Structure 1
Amino acid sequence: MNTWLITGVSSGFGNEMTKQILAQGDRVIGTVRNRSKVADLIEQYPDTFDRQLLDVTDIPAVHSTVSEAFEKYNTIDVVVSNAGYGLFGCAEELSDAEINHIMATNLTGSIQIIRSALPYMRLQGGGRIIQISSYGGQVAYPANSMYHATKFGIEGFCESVAQEVAQFGIGMTIVEPGGARTEFRYGSAKVANLMPEYESCHAFLNMLDASKGLAPGDPVKMAARIIESVKQSPAPLRIVLGSQALKATIERLEERIADYKTQTQLAASTDIVDK
């Protein structure tokens, strides 16, 4: 039996992963912000599902929750940093409070979950860390700047940490899902106080309206692919879920590379040339 620690299991990928992991006979320590959530899982899996109350913006609580979980179960094989949400609105439309909260949740919260787990995984001789990001960690769209800021940021953090901890047998995987039929779009997403001046950037409102068409991603299949990735050795640094997400990511990366290649002479012009 493997033991998993997953943040944000009340909905979305966290909930679907938890259900599949418990069904296959593993243990899950799952965090929620509301005690009334996941009562069905507590009833169905009283011996293998351990619900913990946690708001990842509370850094001391993050440290204590992760520490207590490792100390209780001795070994945690997989830590999934999943808690997060979307915030839509142009930069000028966002409030300071909205900016601070999404940074504290999606970026700082994820960083602290991982940092809290590292000393225990190092001492136990390995483990796997999975960070749920988004193809929005590679591709940016208007009216989503702060969400992209958190995802670009956590991807840079994880790519660096992956290199630091590989020597200890700790694998790191960044998951980049495309649009999926979860509460992320159709329930938990936050929208700023929109301004008429930016109306041309508000196409995302159609994306958040299920009556205008649903996202193509199947959360059940996506959760299964994430769980399966734990068996891969070495750990894949990134996995993209969804054909549209992969297409958009490749196109954006190719555009970026092409632009960089035009700058060869400019880059070299700033070098010190030894005589």
Structure 2
Amino acid sequence: MAKTIFITGASRGFGKIWAEAFLKRGDKVVATARNTTSLNDLVEQYGDAILPLQLDVNDRAAGFAAVKQAQQKFGSIDVLINNAGYGLFGTIEETSEQEARDQIETNVFGLLWLTQAVLPVMRQQGHGHIIQISSVLGVATLPVLGVYNASKFAVEGLSETLAAEVAGFGIKVTLVEPNGFSTDWAGASAAQSQTMPEYDGVKAAFQAGLTDDSFGKPEATTPAILKLVDAENPPLRLFLGKVALPWVKQVYANRLATWEEWADVATAAHGH
């Protein structure tokens, strides 16, 4: 059965690939971007099935207006995919105040505003699926991406809480956690902090850990996203790519070992 899907950050990368896949199979798509000219090819091909909307997700009022426009056009919004966001490369010390604020503003608050905007629509419908594009870096971290890591950890906590709050309304929530993919996320879409030579060694080690096999093919994610959107009982969390799960299993094993090692100290701190 055809769905109406609202997707942010649809001008390129995952957003554009997925928007096209939804349209190709007969879904209706509300595609937002800061600049909608990159969606002209989809409008030409799919006509009224796509509603391109210019949107800066940081503008809360504009987000609510976009959701209202989408509802007026298609009557319902079955799925929201909060895909808009970008990476900030720089160590914690290198990151300026403005860079940090901008990163959190888009990756966390932008996602929060659209989530808040769509909830009344989905509650009224009695169903809906909110898909938050997080990252494997929302459950494990890499150096040189500290504030980005922090933004995705925030998305994880916010969305896990949301899932518990809205389950009674028939609304599902899924956190999609891709590992690295060969999009321009680390290229044209990224922001870079001013470098400090003191961190050259850290950055060299970070680069040395990356191989061609570390990055998945963006187009290969399409079947997974279509399956997720169609799932009657979608998971709260879904990795994309083959690197994420083995890495996170190791990270969590290390965390559990450390907590166990300090368990006596932790228990004594309870006081009784």
Q: TM-score, normalised by structure 1?
A: 0.93
**CA distance, structure 2, for counterparts of residue 44 and residue 149 of structure 1:** 39
Q: 1:272 offset after TM fit, Å?
A: 3.5
Partner of 1:2: 3
What are the superposed Cα offsets for residues 59-110 of structure 1, whole Å, 9 maximum, x if unpaired?
1111211222123322111100000011110111111111111111101101
**Cα 1:231–1:35 shift into 2, 3 Å:** closer
**CA distance, structure 2, for counterparts of residue 236 and residue 121 of structure 1:** 18
Q: 1:204 offset after TM fit, Å?
A: 7.9
**CA distance, structure 2, for counterparts of residue 257 and residue 223 of structure 1:** 34
Partner of 2:254: 255
Between stretches 217-226 and 149-158, larger displacement belongs to 217-226
Partner of 1:228: 227
Letter in 2 for 1:47: D
Q: 1:214 offset after TM fit, Å?
A: 6.9
- Number of residues of Structure 1 aligned to a counterpart in Structure 2: 270
Letter in 2 for 1:226: I
Letter in 2 for 1:188: S
SS of alignment partner, residue 47 of structure 1: helix
RMSD: 1.7
Aligned-residue sequence identity (percent) comes to 38
What are the equivalent positions in structure 2 for 1:120-199 lying under 5 Å apart? 120-199=121-200
Partner of 1:15: 16
Report if the CA contact (8 A) 2:4-2:28 is conserved.
Answer: yes
Q: 1:37 offset after TM fit, Å?
A: 1.7
Q: 1:213 offset after TM fit, Å?
A: 4.1
**CA distance, structure 2, for counterparts of residue 159 and residue 5 of structure 1:** 20
Report if the CA contact (8 A) 1:17-1:224 is conserved.
Answer: no
**Structure 1 unaligned regions, length at least 5:** none
Q: 1:256 offset after TM fit, Å?
A: 1.0
**Structure 2 unaligned regions, length at least 5:** none
Q: TM-score, normalised by structure 2?
A: 0.94
Between stretches 244-253 and 83-92, larger displacement belongs to 244-253
Letter in 2 for 1:271: H
SS of alignment partner, residue 94 of structure 1: coil
Moved over 6 A (4+): none
Report if the CA contact (8 A) 1:179-1:215 is conserved.
Answer: yes
